């Protein structure tokens, strides 16, 4: 993978990408020049992904994949309420009408399935279908085992250890330890039709060419890799109150921000994810809607603490960088579509706690900590960071990382090199072991991440979530964090959960496994024709609410 020193322009980085990727992106740009017919109730969305998310029922491309080719088509036992903006999106019943911990065993959750639901192909949703999907993700010897999807699900629900059918409409799922937060993990396990796999000759590659059948408000109509996916309204959707208003949604991967901007301006799409910050004023002047809103998201660099000879084994180095960066400068660069991050949670969050360290732009303090750790002008701290050119929640990764590279050099004498990769490659490396060749010597990863609930906290920071089991890339372990987390996992008392979450978060700040940079405000730009959209405090959106004028 290519590397850089100091400033690269976006075009320079693009020029150094692998030829195959450059060709794919160029093809996408050319496709924008071809007029695309749209019916009155067709919504065309430009994603930040460089390819369409996988269509077999568990999409890749991070939570952007879940946003557009996850929940609109495939559903889980537990869903999100995405209709409000005044609080973090809560859970709601999905393909399970209700659930509870077993009174005999707090490690077991009982899910009572919704009756009368069918997949898009007309086959019945029942306990057998649920078990078939769980076997697909957790049993490597099952005929339907799908390794890429299994890797995603296992990392998002790493404490899942067993499952069984209790009757035709009831299943039990067992976890490694009592976990009051498990429904949040269950919400990320999507379910698709076993018949889709059989129809494709038990070949997941063939399933992906046409798309699997789910139970959601939209079904997959057509798939054109690297170009588009068409979603068609499911007129037989089980939740009659939430049938989609739109007839069709067209998803297009356009990873380059200015190409997305051009597509919106020329009417090729109606909605773009993450407009380029410097284009926002002119979009507003031209009458386009810029939609922003708080949501549970943080844009960090992950430290690799477990790598051989990693400087990040020393907590003073990890703290130092958190004092060395100019977060206000990043916010200004982004035209106000972000806010400074001084922890995994926002400082205004009631669970933020009272950490000793309150990070701000303080180069003197940062350099003092680096000096204590043995780094100086004569022996500067130097390391590589793996970054992407685009991707789910990645905002504007090239200019943002260039800013940080220059900022760290000027403020604290820190030398940063970049290893530039495709978004999905970067995501895969989040589960890499320390010193893995795929990291190309990177000691940090720039991966935007959710901060929505304690289940996410478990995946990213619990010692048990270290790769390959979860997303604790840092290989971080903190005894006080582990103790607090064990207490909140064992209780359903909201007061205790809040108290212990705050204690756990204090450790994330004072013993930081990440460099906390910004929380973004989820910007997207839309044509005035798009109506009814709600920007929830979530990574996901409810497309059933949207209409086209």
What local confidence, expressed as pLDDT, does residue 21 receive?
A: 39
> Domain boundary at 171, 196, 221, which?
196
Beta bridge partners of 393: none
Q: Does 361 share its domain with 238?
A: no
Nearest to 271 by CA among 72, 281, 283: 283
Higher per-residue pLDDT: 6 or 456: 456
Q: Does 358 share its domain with 429?
A: yes
Question: Residue 4: is its pLDDT beyond 80?
Answer: no
The three-class DSSP label of residue 229 is: strand
**What average pLDDT is seen over the chain?**
92
CA-CA distance, 222 to 208, in Å (whole number)? 10
Q: Does 202 share its domain with 333?
A: no
Tokens of 186: 């269950």
**475 φ/ψ sector (left φ>0, alpha ψ -120 to 50, else beta):** left
Question: Residue 14: is its pLDDT beyond 60?
Answer: no
CA-CA distance, 108 to 174, in Å (whole number)? 4
CA-CA distance, 215 to 123, in Å (whole number)? 10
> Domain boundary at 156, 174, 196, which?
196
pLDDT band of 249, cuts 50, 70, 90 = very high
8-to-381, 401, 418 alpha-carbon distances in Å: 20, 10, 10
Tally of domains in the chain: 3
Nearest to 382 by CA among 309, 448, 439: 309
pLDDT band of 17, cuts 50, 70, 90 = very low
Nearest to 432 by CA among 418, 443, 423: 443
The domain that contains 390 carries what CATH number?
Answer: 3.10.105.10
Query: pLDDT, tens digit, for every residue of 55-65?
Result: 999 999 999 99
**In 422-513, beta strands by DSSP E:** 444-445, 449-450
Question: Residue 27: is its pLDDT beyond 70?
Answer: no
Whether the CA torsion 206, 210, 211, 212 is positive or negative: it is negative
Q: What DSSP element (H or E) covers 370?
A: helix 363-372
Q: Does 87 share its domain with 55?
A: no
The three-class DSSP label of residue 46 is: strand
Q: Does 139 share its domain with 191?
A: yes
**In 363-486, beta strands by DSSP E:** 382-388, 415-421, 444-445, 449-450
The three-class DSSP label of residue 323 is: helix
With beta carbons less than 8 A apart as the criterion, state whether 255 and 50 touch. Answer: yes
What local confidence, expressed as pLDDT, does residue 469 receive?
A: 80
Beta bridge partners of 302: 445, 514
With beta carbons less than 8 A apart as the criterion, state whether 488 and 501 touch. Answer: yes
Q: Does 28 share its domain with 93?
A: no
Residues listed for the chain: 549
| Ordered alpha helix ranges (H), 163-225 | 182-186, 194-199, 204-210
Can you give the pTM of this predicted structure?
0.87
CA-CA distance, 289 to 166, in Å (whole number)? 50
Q: Does 355 share its domain with 224?
A: no
What local confidence, expressed as pLDDT, does residue 470 receive?
A: 81
The domain that contains 253 carries what CATH number?
Answer: 3.40.190.10
Q: What DSSP element (H or E) covers 170?
A: strand 170-175
CA-CA distance, 330 to 338, in Å (whole number)? 8
Q: Does 356 share its domain with 457?
A: yes
pLDDT band of 485, cuts 50, 70, 90 = very high
Query: pLDDT, tens digit, for every residue of 74-110?
Result: 999 999 999 989 899 999 999 999 999 999 999 999 9
What local confidence, expressed as pLDDT, does residue 223 receive?
A: 97
pLDDT band of 543, cuts 50, 70, 90 = very high
Structural domain range at position 61: 13-73+198-293+523-548
Three-point CA angle 542, 547, 548, nearest 5°? 135
Q: Does 247 share its domain with 353?
A: no
Q: Does 310 share its domain with 412?
A: yes
Question: Residue 22: is its pLDDT beyond 60?
Answer: no
The domain that contains 174 carries what CATH number?
Answer: 3.90.76.10
Taking residues 235-257, what's their average pLDDT?
Answer: 96
Nearest to 295 by CA among 44, 63, 50: 63
Question: Residue 147: is its pLDDT beyond 60?
Answer: yes
What local confidence, expressed as pLDDT, does residue 70 receive?
A: 98
CA-CA distance, 337 to 291, in Å (whole number)? 10
Three-point CA angle 471, 313, 517, nearest 5°? 60
Taking residues 32-57, what's their average pLDDT?
Answer: 79
> Domain boundary at 196, 226, 241, which?
196
Query: pLDDT, tens digit, for every residue of 278-330?
Result: 999 999 999 999 999 888 999 999 999 999 999 999 999 999 999 999 999 99
Q: Does 123 share its domain with 187?
A: yes
With beta carbons less than 8 A apart as the criterion, state whether 29 and 502 touch. Answer: no
User: Please, which residues have CB within 8 angstroms of residue 471's CB and are 6 or more apart in sequence?
Assistant: 155, 430, 431, 449, 459, 460, 465
What local confidence, expressed as pLDDT, does residue 215 receive?
A: 98
Question: Following CA atoms 384, 390, 393, 398 in sequence, which dihedral angle do they give, to the nearest 10 degrees?
Answer: 50
CA-CA distance, 442 to 461, in Å (whole number)? 20
Nearest to 525 by CA among 148, 147, 255, 261: 261
Query: pLDDT, tens digit, for every residue of 433-472?
Result: 999 999 999 999 999 999 999 999 999 999 998 988 889 9
Three-point CA angle 513, 373, 346, nearest 5°? 30
Q: Does 289 share its domain with 309?
A: no
């Amino acid at each position: 993978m290519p590397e850089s020193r100091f400033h690269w322009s976006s075009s320079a980085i693009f020029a150094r990408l692998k030829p195959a990727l450059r060709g794919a992106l160029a093809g996408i740009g050319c496709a924008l020049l071809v007029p695309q017919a749209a019916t009155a109730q067709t919504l065309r969305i430009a994603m930040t992904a460089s390819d369409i998310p996988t269509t077999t029922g568990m999409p890749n491309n991070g939570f952007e994949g879940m946003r557009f080719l996850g929940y609109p088509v495939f559903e889980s036992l537990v869903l999100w309420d995405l209709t409000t903006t005044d609080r973090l999106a809560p859970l709601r019943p999905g393909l399970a009408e209700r659930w509870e911990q077993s009174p005999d065993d707090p490690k077991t959750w009982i899910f009572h399935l919704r009756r009368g639901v069918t997949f898009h192909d007309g086959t019945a949703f029942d306990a057998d279908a649920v078990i078939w999907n769980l076997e697909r993700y957790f049993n490597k010897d099952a005929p339907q085992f799908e390794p890429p999807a299994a890797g995603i699900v296992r990392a998002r629900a790493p404490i899942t250890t067993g499952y069984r059918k209790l009757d035709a409409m009831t299943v039990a799922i067992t976890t490694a330890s009592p976990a009051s937060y498990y429904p949040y993990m269950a919400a990320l396990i999507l379910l698709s039709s076993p018949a889709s796999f059989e129809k494709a000759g038990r070949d997941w590659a063939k399933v992906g060419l046409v798309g699997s059948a789910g139970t959601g408000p939209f079904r997959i109509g057509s798939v054109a890799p690297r170009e588009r996916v068409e979603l068609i309204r499911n007129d037989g959707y089980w939740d009659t109150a939430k049938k989609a208003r739109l007839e069709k949604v067209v998803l297009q991967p356009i990873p380059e921000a200015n190409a997305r901007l051009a597509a919106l301006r020329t009417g090729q799409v109606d909605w773009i994810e993450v407009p380029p910050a410097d284009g926002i004023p002119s979009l507003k002047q031209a009458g386009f809607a810029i939609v922003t809103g708080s949501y549970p998201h943080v844009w960090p660099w992950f430290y690799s603490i477990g790598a051989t000879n990693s400087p990040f084994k020393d907590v003073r180095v990890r703290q130092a960088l958190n004092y060395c960066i100019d977060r206000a400068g990043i916010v200004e660069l982004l035209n106000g579509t972000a806010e400074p991050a001084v922890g995994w949670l926002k400082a205004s969050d009631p669970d933020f706690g009272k950490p000793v360290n309150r990070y701000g732009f303080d180069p003197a303090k940062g350099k003092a900590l680096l000096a204590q750790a043995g780094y100086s002008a004569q022996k500067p701290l130097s390391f590589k960071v793996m970054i992407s050119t685009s991707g789910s929640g990645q905002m504007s990764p090239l200019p943002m990382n260039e800013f940080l590279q220059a900022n760290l050099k000027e403020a604290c004498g820190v030398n940063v090199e970049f290893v530039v990769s495709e978004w999905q490659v970067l995501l895969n490396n989040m589960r890499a072991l320390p010193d893995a060749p795929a990291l190309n010597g990177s000691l940090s990863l720039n991966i935007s991440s959710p901060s929505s609930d304690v289940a996410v906290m478990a995946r990213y920071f619990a010692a048990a979530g270290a790769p390959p089991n979860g997303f604790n890339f840092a290989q971080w372990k903190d005894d006080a964090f582990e103790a607090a987390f064990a207490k909140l996992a064992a209780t359903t008392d909201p007061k205790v959960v809040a108290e212990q979450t705050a204690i756990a978060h204090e450790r994330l700040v004072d013993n930081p496994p990440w460099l906390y940079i910004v929380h973004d405000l989820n910007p997207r730009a839309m044509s005035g024709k798009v109506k009814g959209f709600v920007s929830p405090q979530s990574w996901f959106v409810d497309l059933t609410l949207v209409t086209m004028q």
